Amino acid sequence: MNQLISTSNNVSGEIVVSGRELHEFLEVKTPYTQWFERMISYGFVENVDFTVTNKNVNDVTAFGGVRKIIDHALKLDMAKEIGMIQRTDKGKQARQYFLQLERMWNSPEMVIKRAMDFQQEKILQLETKIHKEKKYTDFGKVVSLSNGAINVGAFAKIMYDKHGVNIGRNKLMAWLRDSGYLIKQGRERNFPKQHYVERGWFKLAPTIIKRTEGDVQSGTTLVTGKGQIGLAEILLEEFIKLEA
């Protein structure tokens, strides 16, 4: 079948037509925006019969030589009705074309093809999800075999040994502070923030520092098993972005 007017598919997989292309095919003399306002006065509803889209067109007078204009993605039912409304040979031709498209779309062969395409897309999504989560699952096994909460230096070593994320203790400490997990300043610098302690990502192990003027109690930040898994996911995504 010859393609009189180009079509595409919306997010729901339905056939849609560019309002501007239909306007051009119908050879309507009224400017597009005025014409389309008149068309929707027939009872067409946004996000039901059509959606508003943007389209870039070449324009030497515009900044960068490109101008953005408003277009509309029309469902076939709306496009058919608009063809009927025109009462012209072009309108009749457009309507017949859309009817033929609809018959092809609803044919048993196309219904089966769409079902197979949908199933294939689901399989690809599942495979991607499994591949993405595998590294976190493997990391979870490592954590479950560890002695629970570990210090930041030990966590940095695991990230390097198991995932190739080259981040040492000091760099990881700075990242944890900058990312809002640890306190930045004051006597409690490098202590975990209470929110993440309550979330189960960190523990604070009491430490006694011996001084001539008297012992001082401090603390060492430890990353729990839950925190290791959560932070590993975030660090891996950050590491991938830096490599891309």
Structure tokens at 180: 């809002």
Q: Identify the sign of the CA torsion 144, 148, 154, 159.
A: positive
Give the tens place of pLDDT for each residue, 26-44. Answer: 999 999 999 999 999 999 9
* pLDDT at site 217: 59
* pLDDT at site 130: 58
Give the tens place of pLDDT for each residue, 50-87. Answer: 999 988 777 666 666 777 889 999 999 999 999 999 88
E-strand stretches of the chain: 7-9, 15-18, 50-58, 66-75, 150-151, 202-209, 216-223
Residues 195, 197: Cα–Cα separation, whole Å: 5
Selection from 180, 243, 183 nearest residue 218 by Cα: 183
Write the CA distances from 226 to 64, 110, 145, integer angstroms. Answer: 50, 48, 13
Residues 28, 107: Cα–Cα separation, whole Å: 32
Give the lowest-confidence range in 4-8, 80-84, 102-106, 230-234: 102-106
- The answer to pTM > 0.85 is no
